[in-house]
Amino acid sequence: MEEVVGANRNYEDKGPLPESPKNLRVFGVGAGLILLVFWTLKFFYFKTGNSPVLLGLAAYFLISGVAVHAALKPVYRVWIRIAHKIGQINAYVFLFLIYYAVLTPIGFIMRALGKSPLSAMAAAEGDSFWVTHEGTPDKESYKREF
């Protein structure tokens, strides 16, 4: 596994989905149905004529997904590797956008309003950020914390 700079060391990337018969079946039937929907839209809705290549691909995926799983392995490998890389990139882009589109403006607004989520006193008011509490708790409260 390649090392990504700044990646979480506790996260283990499991990689692409395994080539189990169930995954191959789901991939074949799903891709076949999607291609069949595209062919139907092209033929009936847009009326651009018959597309035997699209219909043939839909039939290949549907038949392979239902009956012959091994025929889908090469296509599945390529598709899943590409989808896995796209997913990794999307995760970083999504986290970047959430941070800079949501958290940064909230921080600017709170700073402009003089709010602090840490409940810290301003340094100008005292020498310390220590929050004082009144009273001393009983010794029994230390024995039963929860």
The verdict on residue 97 lying in a domain is yes
**Would you state the structure tokens that stand for residue 46, as one six-digit string?**
């847009």
The verdict on residue 88 lying in a domain is yes
The verdict on residue 136 lying in a domain is no
- Number of domain units in the chain: 1
Q: What is the mean pLDDT of the chain?
A: 84
**Would you state the structure tokens that stand for residue 101, as one six-digit string?**
């589109």
Q: Provide the domain limits for residue 105.
A: 21-115
The verdict on residue 122 lying in a domain is no
Taking Cα atoms as reference points, which of 4, 117, 121, 16 lies closest to residue 73?
A: 16
Q: Are 27 and 72 in contact (CB under 8 A)?
A: yes
Q: Are 39 and 51 in contact (CB under 8 A)?
A: yes
- Please tell me which residue, 130 or 75, carries the higher pLDDT value: 75
**What would the pLDDT profile of 20-68 be if each residue is shown by its tens digit?**
999 999 999 999 999 999 999 998 888 888 889 999 999 999 999 999 9
pTM of the model: 0.60
pLDDT at 81: 92
Share of the chain above pLDDT 70, in %: 80
Amino acid at 11: Y
3-class SS at 138? Answer: coil
